[in-house]
Structure 1
């Protein structure tokens, strides 16, 4: 099941469909081909496969989008970006005390998302230098 998800999620998210459409298709395949109804986490929590696939697909597409967003300033020689994120969202995880939104980071500090489903975005800042 995990191998199917690892193989399929990037392919589905890159097709001519939204991440939610890709998630719906993958959830259907996992339910049909693998008879998977729930994903069980280490802590015993049982999550419906459709919810799990939707979060995984949205996270993968956000990582890909933000990685490509950071590539452009890097290619243009711009070293700084401004981070746009939720007010309580930390840089490396939701609980990280280093809050991300409205901060300046270098393109090399790349951390595309801090958690699924993260709303993080980046804006090129050729006028600014990270201290």
Structure 2
């Protein structure tokens, strides 16, 4: 079994002047950081997944290309056949699922780069698994 570990991001209220507007600030040789405001939105995403998908949650990743953009389709499946799909697109800016998205089984999100994409996938897997084991 493959287990990927990563440092849990520190919560901050400001980002470094050298950092672009990203979801996770990943400075060389530094600790990862996330803005408190983004953490609130990320926790909301996790809560929305949990409210629709009965634990235990199985996450399947499908890397894709849509046009010239790299994407990751995440399929969250729980028991009793409950499921949600989240398409995350690398698109040089950050956006979250809209309120309307949360009323449907397919949600859309964009992130700045591949580092955000990978860290987001690791964070969601860790957060959703951690809630189930407690």
* TM-score, structure 2 as length reference: 0.31
Larger Rg: 1
Q: Could you say which structure has the higher helix fraction? A: 1
Q: Could you say which structure has the higher strand fraction? A: 2
* TM-score, structure 1 as length reference: 0.32
